[in-house]
A and B are shown apart, each in its own frame.
Chain A
C-alpha cells in the first residue's frame, strides 16, 4: 500500500541526507520525495511516498523520530483522507509537423478533460501543466496515451501532503 510520510525537520545542512539515508539503510524504497522550507525558514517540510508494509513503516517512523533534525513525523495510508495530497506535473508533448492540427486538437481536448493547462510552446512541442492528486496525474497520463499523443518528457515533483485535522485513529503521530 502507498504510504505518505509527512515530516517536519530542521532546514540545516546534513538533515536531509540523514533522513533519506535512513530509508536506504533500512532497505526501504522511496517512491517520491519532496522537500521545501516552511513559513518558518528554519524548518523544512518533507513529504515522502513509499510503498511498503505498515509495520515496517512504523519502525521507520520511530527511527526518523530518533533523528535529531526531525521535529515531527506523521504517517497515513495514501488516500485515507487524513492528508490532502497534491502533486505538480509538467508534460512535454510532441506536436509533429504535418499533423499539427489534429495533435493540437487532441491535446486541447485531453487538457480540458484533465483540467490541465498548456503553459508553453516549443518548436515542435507543447508543455502541459497539471496540479492534482497523484492518482489524477496518472489518469491524465493515461488519457494522453490513449489519444496517441507522443510524450517527450514527464516530470513530477512528488506528492506534497498536509494534514486536514488533528491526527485520526487511522493515521498516527509518532
Chain B
C-alpha cells in the first residue's frame, strides 16, 4: 500500500472515482440504498450533482450531455424503482451508441435475493440494453470498476454501462486506501485492430472509378468525431453525401454536396441518389429498416463499401462488397489520402472521363433537387389562417441562424426539424433516433444547457411528447436553465395520426385529446417560467424572436399548428428507396422495370 493513499469509505471512493474519471455533472435522484453515496457527494466539490424530478430524465440528461460534448454522461440513482426508472434512458443510449455510466445503488449484499424492500435485479433487468454491467462485491473494487466502466462506455462502439452498488459497500464507517487506477486491463475486451489495407485499396479504386458515387454517413461519424475527415473525403471525391437522422450535422447541411437526410422521411434527392448510385460508401451507419426500405430492392446497382467500428453491424442487413472495420476518422482519412494519390496518377483522358461522369451525375442530382427538393422548392403551401409545422422550424432556423443546439422529442415535429433545420456542425442535433423515445427532448436539453451554459439550446417538441416530461420544468427552474421549448402543438399524436390517415382509413384510434390539453402558457408560468402562445402565421416570427431574445429564462413557446399536415416524403413500405409518397395521394411512379421482374 502506498503511504500517501488517502483513506476513504466506499461511498467516498465512488464519488472520488467518478470525479477522477472526468465526471463534472452527475444527474441523479436519491433514495435509501444510495444515501451513503449522497452523503459523500455532500462533502465534496469535485462533482456537481443535478437533481432531476424523475430518474428517466437523469438518464436522458446525461445522454444529451454526452451527445453534445462527446464526453460520457453519468447518472446516480437508488435501488428498485430508481434503477428501473432509468431503463428507458439506458435503452435510448444503447440504441444510439451513447457513452454513459449509470450507478445504481442496490440493497445490502446480505439482502440481495431476498425480495428486500426496493430490491430489483438491476443487472438482470438492464442486461439486454447495456454495453456491459458490473456489480460491486467489495468496496476495494470500486475505483477499478468505475475506471473500467468509463473505459468501456467510451471506446469501440460506445454505449451505456451499469454499475450496481450494494449499500454495504458504501458504508461510511469502513475506510480503504484510495487509488484511481491509471490503466485498466480487460483481457476479454477487444477493440478494432489495424485496418485491412487490401480492403482500403479496393475501396479506393471503386470510389475513383465510380460514375455515380454516393456517401451515406450515420451517427458513427459524429460519435467517432470524424466529421472533418468526412468533409475532406467528400470534397476530394466530389460525390453527393446524405446523412441519417442520427448523422445530421456530420456533414454541413448548407454545403452543396449535401443532399439532405435519407430514409423513411428522407429528402427526395437523397433517396433517389441512393437508389441510382453505382458505388455506395456507408460510414458509421447501420442500414436499419428506416433507411433501406425492403433490403432486396436497396441500391440495386451499387457496389457497397461499409466502414464501421463494430463488426456486428457489418453485413447484418446488407452484405457489403467491401467491409472495413475500423474507426471512422482513421479509415476516412486514409481513404482520402489514397484517393488523392490514385487520382493524381490519372492521365488527362482518365481525368476528363471521370469529370464527365461526375458532371452528368451532378446534373441528375440537380434535376431531382429542382423537381422535388425540400429546401429547393419548399414542398409545402402556406395558408393564411393556420401555421404549418414546417414554418415553425424554418422560423426557428432563421431566428437562431442555424447555430443552436436543438433537441427533439419523437413524432412529426422531429422529422420536420430533421428536414428543415440544416445543421452546420456535428453534435448540434440531439434526438433519439434508434429507440424513438418520446420524453427525451426536454431532459436532453437540460444536459446540453448544463454542459454549455451560454449556448442557445432549443427543445422542439410536440404536445404529446412534452407531457411525458413536464415535471422537469421544475429542474430547469432550480438550475436556471434558459432552454427554449418550441411546442409544435397539433393537438394530436401527430405521427400516429398520420399513419392512421394513410393506413387505417382515418380512424383516429386514441391519438387525439383536444379537450383535455393543458394551457401550456399557464403550465410554464406555474413552474416560474415564461409561457407564450401563438396561432396566427403573421405572429410567428415575432413570437419566435421574443422567445430567443429572452437570454436568461426558460420560454415555453406553444405554437398551434395545422393538425392535418403530414410528413413527406415517406417511403412506401415494401418498395425501394425510390418508392415514396410525396404528398397526400401523390407518389413517385412505380418502378415498372422492377415490377416486370427486370
Contact = CB atoms under 8 A, between A and B. Distances in A.
Chain A interface size band reads 20 to 34
Interface string B123-167: 110011001110100000000000000001000010000000000
B102 to A, nearest CB: 16
A62 B311 contact: yes
B310 interface: yes
Interface string B309-320: 011101110000
B186 interface: yes
Interface stretch (A13-21, A119-127, A164-172): A13-21
Contacts of A112: none
B176 to A, nearest CB: 22
Contacts of B310: 66
Interface string A1-37: 0000000011001100110010001000000000000
A12 to B, nearest CB: 10
A68 B132 contact: yes
B187 interface: yes
A71 B188 contact: yes
Given A9-B188, A65-B311, A68-B152, A25 B128 contact: yes
A68 B189 contact: yes
A37 to B, nearest CB: 15
Contacts, number: 39
Given A21-B128, A69-B188, A62 B312 contact: yes
A59 interface: yes
Interface in B176-228: 186-190
Contacts of A59: 312, 315-316
Contacts of B128: 21, 25
A10 B312 CA distance: 21
Contacts of A18: 127
Which of B124, B133, B310, B312 is packed against the most chain A CB atoms within 10 Å? B312
A10 B188 CA distance: 8
A64 to B, nearest CB: 9
B331 to A, nearest CB: 18
Contact of A70 (B188, B311, B315, B316): B188
Contacts of A69: 188
Given A59-B312, A62-B311, A14 B189 contact: no
A21 B127 contact: yes
A156 interface: no
A17 B127 contact: yes
Contact of B124 (A17, A62, A65): A17
A111 to B, nearest CB: 43
Contacts of A67: 132
Nearest to B156: A66
A63 interface: yes
Given A14-B135, A17-B124, A21-B127, A71 B187 contact: yes
Contacts of B311: 62, 65-66, 174
Nearest to A62: B312
A68 B134 CA distance: 11
A65 B188 CA distance: 9
Nearest to A10: B188
B312 to A, nearest CB: 4
Nearest to B129: A25
A62 to B, nearest CB: 4
Given A21-B127, A66-B312, A14 B187 contact: no
Contacts of A71: 187-188
Contacts of B187: 71
Contacts of A21: 127-128
Contacts of A58: 315
Interface string A24-66: 0100000000000000000000000000000000110011011
A63 B315 CA distance: 12
A11 to B, nearest CB: 11
A14 B315 CA distance: 29
A82 to B, nearest CB: 21
A152 to B, nearest CB: 35
B135 A65 contact: no
Contacts of A70: 188
B292 to A, nearest CB: 16
A60 to B, nearest CB: 9
26 contacts: A9-B188, A10-B188, A14-B123, A14-B133, A17-B124, A18-B127, A21-B127, A21-B128, A25-B128, A58-B315, A59-B312, A59-B315, A62-B311, A62-B312, A62-B314, A63-B312, A65-B312, A66-B311, A66-B312, A68-B131, A68-B132, A68-B188, A69-B188, A70-B188, A71-B187, A174-B311
Given A66-B311, A66-B312, 8 more contacts: A14-B133, A18-B127, A58-B315, A59-B316, A65-B311, A67-B132, A68-B131, A174-B311
The 6 closest A-B pairs by CB, nearest first: A62-B312, A71-B188, A68-B132, A62-B311, A63-B312, A68-B189
Interface of B: 123-124, 127-128, 131-133, 135, 152, 157, 186-190, 310-312, 314-316
Interface of A: 9-10, 13-14, 17-18, 21, 25, 58-59, 62-63, 65-71, 174
